[in-house]
Structure 1
Amino acid sequence: MDREIELKFLIAPEASDAVLDRLDGRQAVRRLDATYYDTADHALRRAGFGLRVRDGDGGRKQTLKSASAGGVFARGEWEAPVTGPGPDRDLLDQTPAGRIVNGDVLAPVFAAKVERTLRLVEHGGATIEAALDRGELQAGTDRAAVSELELELKSGQPAALFALARDLMAHAPLRLSLVSKAERGYALALGETPSARREAAVLRPDMTAAEAFQALGNTALGRLCVAAEDLSDLPGPEAVHNLRVAARRLRALIKLFRPLTGKLSATPVADALKALADALGPARDLDVYIAGTWRPAAVADPQSVEGLAALGKALIEAQQHAYGQARAVADAERFGPVALDVAAWLETGDWLEDPERADARRTPARAFAAKQLKKLAKDVLEQGADLDALDAEARHHLRIRGKGLRYAIDALAPLFPDHPKRLERWSVATRALQDALGGLNDETLGASLARDAALADGDAQAAYAAGRLSAAPEATNRLTREAKAALAEMADLKPFW
């Protein structure tokens, strides 16, 4: 098996020439036609593998690729020449995929028809192969365009790979993508939306804390990139929510593993993710308020609150402005550098070489995870011990802590398979706490946003309606009771770690 380290970007076809102009080196143009194979139940895909047979200038080759093999952009690859039109089963049996297929029939799932322009580039003391792919994926009668740039490190340090990517990104809008052609092809064949690493990150019992962090970071970054692509292509409440959650989950993960990285090293990427999530906040909060407060009132009895229609007009205007801001942060020119910086830090950041944290990096992942989960659970229970006495700010901090615990449980659960029932109870309780505290927070934010929208519109009736809709003590009391019940449930649970 060879270990390849590569970066892949989605690129607008019209930007291709600008990218090629920045890449000096020997050029070759190849026609690559590949067919991807799997079992009837897509066992290879479910296990994180892609199997193709490709015809090209070098003859026919069979290639098996795996998901991450240790770093953010490191993948396992098994490649060998073949003579037949389909996969060579003997060769496949010599790879980890052999036991997954286990003698089942392999059939074509989709095909890729691509023209590849290759440049071999010397940059920063490294040799990097740049491949610009243009063509299409084909699944039956369905088609999807391919326009991608891949940068593969052939020799030298990974830092040079990221340096070249930054240079190219300064001259053309590139969107980092962790979704392979194989995944996009499967999505086309099955009528799905392409996604990166649908399943949880692969965490092995023998992993160190640093290896687990990189595996989890890889998965979280992939989801972030897909969510940004979705919002850019088709903006809407779900797309805004998904990108905001992806940014928050990745930031929470970085905070969770800060004993390995140090606060100073993690701050720039964490701050960039916070800025991304904050920019999406107004759009998300207005979506929640309009759907959960204004629209039900307007549907139930439009005349019940004076100025309800005027408030609706003000809210829609504010929502349109907020969506413009949300789409701007998901645009390739703004989002691209953020994603690349996160990727570079996960793969080549100074935290990987800090001698003062070497022992922390080598800590078994399971031991590290148990310690962090115990600490987070204790903090949440202590802060929520007297929920009724907390003011809005203290309750907000408790919500953040509770959300961090829930995200940590979701991420680290694969390390603790021994007590599935306990794990499920913790997951349910932390989700209930987050929902209740989130609802209380939405009430506060929604009322503020509605007032701001009404005042910006300059309509006194809209401002009056905003005030009337905010007065809902019964909802506050219900959500408070639900949060207290969730905390009480957590206090009685046995650890799963």
Structure 2
Amino acid sequence: MDHEIELKFLIAPESSDVILARLEGREAVRQLDATYFDTVDHALRKAGFGLRIRDGENGRKQTLKSASSGGVFARGEWESAVEGPEPDRDLLAQTPAAKVINGDALAPVFATNVKRVTRLIERDGATIEAALDQGELLADDRRAGVSELELELKTGAARVLFDLARDLAAHAPLRLSLISKAERGYALALDEQDGPRPDAPLDPGATTGEVLQALGRTALCRLCAAAEALRARPAPERVHKLRVAARRFRALLSTFKALAGDPAALHVKTELKWLADELGPARNLDVFIADVWRPAAEEQAEASQAADSDLQPDEAAQNEARALAAFGKALLAAQTDAYAKADAAVDSARFRVLAIEAAAWLEAGPWTTDKRLEKRRDKAATAFAAKALDKRRRRIRQDGRDLAALSPQERHELRIRGKKLRYAVEDLGALFPDHPRRLAGFVEATRDLQDALGALNDLAVREALAREVALSCDDPEAAFAAGRLTAGGSDREAELLAEAQGAYVSFAEAKRFW
């Protein structure tokens, strides 16, 4: 089995010449046509494998690739020459995929038609193969373009690979992607909009460093995939998914701060906060429109339809309808501006650099080699996780005893701590497989507390948001509607506070699973 470490970037087709001009080395050009196979129920994909038969100038080859088998961007690979267009069962029997297939029939799922230009680069004692792919994926009558750059480290230090990536990124827009052609092909064949990658399973016997890399890889994959989805088609759920991805990645670095305290890690955390903040206005407006303005507009429309057509609506109802419409227009303008801000963030050089720097830190950051951190890296992940979860749980139980005495800002900070605990539980829970019911109960209790505190925070934010939007359009009617829609906050706050206190009691009583 070969072991590869590679980076893959999505690029604009027009950037290919600029990229090739920066890559000096022996060149080869090949046409790579491949067909990917799987069982009827896609057992190989579910197990993290990709199986293809590829035709090239060196003949026909069968390749099986696995999900990460070591480092952040390492993959297992089994490749052999074959004669026919169908997978060779005898060769597959010598790989881990044999148990997954279990004798089931294999059928084509999708195909690739790609022209590849490769350059072999010698740099700072390392050998790197750069491959520029242009072509398309084909699945029945559906097609998707392929324009990618892969940088594979053949020999040498991993840092050299990232230095080359940084150099190229300074001259052409490189968008890091952890989604393989196989995963994109499956998404096309099955008509999956985002093509999500399942989280990598954790080994309870792993070290803290190994778990950090595994979870970091998943977090970075989630971040890049969500950004591509938002770039392709802006939508509320996609803004939310990317914002959560940024926050989860940042929370992960906080959980592992014993290893993530160097300047490079802190810079990544700062940039993740920047990204989440850039998406914040769009998310807040999406929630306000969905939860406050749209229900009010629908209620007003239903009332108008139910009225007797022979009766003239009273002046008060007409004024309210005009005010609601004026506020809706102001909300739409604010939402448009917020989405432009979000789009600019994911399409910016700053975000592209963030992705590269996050990958560089995960794979070759100081924490991976610093001898002073060796004991922390090699510590059993279960021991590390238990201590981290205990600390977060204890702090929330202590600070949440009297929610009524907390200010809105203090409740907001408690909610953030609850969110970080929930993310940590979802990330680290697989290390403790002996108590699945306790894990499920703890996750539910943590989520309920976070949701209850979130509702209180939304209530506090809504009034300020409505006021800001109304003032931005300088329309008295919009300001009137904003006031009406956010009135009665005190009564609603008391109700939500009671729900939050009940959620806190359930959380405090939830049994630990670690």
TM-score, scaled to structure 1: 0.97
Q: Give the structure with higher Rg (CA).
A: 2
Aligned to 2:471: 455
- Percent of aligned positions with the same letter in both sequences? 60
| Cα distance in 2 for residues equivalent to 1:494 and 1:126 | 51
Shift of 1:279: 0.6
Aligned to 2:165: 165
Aligned to 1:104: 104
Q: Give, as a single letter, the amino acid of the residue that structure 2 aligns with 1:34.
A: A
Aligned to 2:436: 420
Aligned to 1:254: 253
**Deviating more after overlay: 268-277 vs 122-131:** 122-131
The answer to whether structure 1 residue 370 and structure 2 residue 381 are counterparts is no
- In structure 2, relative to structure 1, the CA distance for the partners of 1:475 and 1:466 (3 Å cut) is same
The answer to whether structure 1 residue 395 and structure 2 residue 418 are counterparts is no
Residues 42-73 of structure 1, C-alpha deviation per residue, up to 9 Å, x if partnerless? 11100101011111122111111111112111
Residues 282-334 of structure 1, C-alpha deviation per residue, up to 9 Å, x if partnerless? 01001111111122122213745873222222211111111100000111533
Shift of 1:124: 3.0
**Deviating more after overlay: 319-328 vs 367-376:** 367-376
The answer to whether structure 1 residue 47 and structure 2 residue 47 are counterparts is yes
**1:427-446 equivalent positions in 2, closer than 5 A:** 427-446=443-462
Residues 398-425 of structure 1, C-alpha deviation per residue, up to 9 Å, x if partnerless? 0000000111111112111111111111
| Paired residues of 1:380 and 1:402 also in contact (CA < 8 A) | yes
Aligned to 1:187: 187
Find the residue that maps to 2:259 and give its secondary structure. Answer: helix
| Paired residues of 1:200 and 1:219 also in contact (CA < 8 A) | yes
| Cα distance in 2 for residues equivalent to 1:346 and 1:70 | 12
Aligned to 2:313: none
Q: Give, as a single letter, the amino acid of the residue that structure 2 aligns with 1:322.
A: A
Match of 1:358 among 363, 374, 395: 374
Q: Give, as a single letter, the amino acid of the residue that structure 2 aligns with 1:37.
A: F
The count of residues paired between Structure 1 and Structure 2 equals 496
| Cα distance in 2 for residues equivalent to 1:89 and 1:362 | 39
Residues 336-361 of structure 1, C-alpha deviation per residue, up to 9 Å, x if partnerless? 11111111111111122222221111
Aligned to 1:127: 127
**1:193-342 equivalent positions in 2, closer than 5 A:** 193-197=193-197, 199-262=198-261, 264-301=263-300, 303=317, 304=320, 307-331=323-347, 333-342=349-358
Shift of 1:242: 0.7
Shift of 1:122: 1.9
| Cα distance in 1 for residues equivalent to 2:231 and 2:194 | 14
**Deviating more after overlay: 318-327 vs 261-270:** 261-270
Aligned to 1:63: 63
| Cα distance in 1 for residues equivalent to 2:261 and 2:10 | 32
Q: Give, as a single letter, the amino acid of the residue that structure 2 aligns with 1:5.
A: I
Find the residue that maps to 1:23 and give its secondary structure. Answer: coil
| Paired residues of 1:126 and 1:157 also in contact (CA < 8 A) | yes
| Paired residues of 1:32 and 1:114 also in contact (CA < 8 A) | yes
| Cα distance in 2 for residues equivalent to 1:263 and 1:483 | 37
Aligned to 2:512: 495
| Paired residues of 1:237 and 1:284 also in contact (CA < 8 A) | yes
Q: Give, as a single letter, the amino acid of the residue that structure 2 aligns with 1:462.
A: A
| Cα distance in 2 for residues equivalent to 1:76 and 1:338 | 27
TM-score, scaled to structure 2: 0.94
Aligned to 1:142: 142
**Deviating more after overlay: 387-396 vs 76-85:** 76-85
Q: Give, as a single letter, the amino acid of the residue that structure 2 aligns with 1:52.
A: R
Match of 1:479 among 480, 489, 496: 496
| Paired residues of 1:3 and 1:74 also in contact (CA < 8 A) | yes
| Paired residues of 2:111 and 2:185 also in contact (CA < 8 A) | yes
Q: Give, as a single letter, the amino acid of the residue that structure 2 aligns with 1:118.
A: T
| Cα distance in 2 for residues equivalent to 1:470 and 1:130 | 57
Shift of 1:264: 4.4
Q: Give, as a single letter, the amino acid of the residue that structure 2 aligns with 1:295.
A: R
Shift of 1:223: 0.9
Shift of 1:194: 4.1
- In structure 2, relative to structure 1, the CA distance for the partners of 1:306 and 1:484 (3 Å cut) is farther
| Paired residues of 1:132 and 1:149 also in contact (CA < 8 A) | yes
| Cα distance in 2 for residues equivalent to 1:306 and 1:77 | 64
Residues 374-417 of structure 1, C-alpha deviation per residue, up to 9 Å, x if partnerless? 11111111111111100011111100000001111111121111
Shift of 1:17: 1.1
- In structure 2, relative to structure 1, the CA distance for the partners of 1:93 and 1:221 (3 Å cut) is same
| Paired residues of 1:261 and 1:357 also in contact (CA < 8 A) | no
| Paired residues of 2:52 and 2:63 also in contact (CA < 8 A) | yes
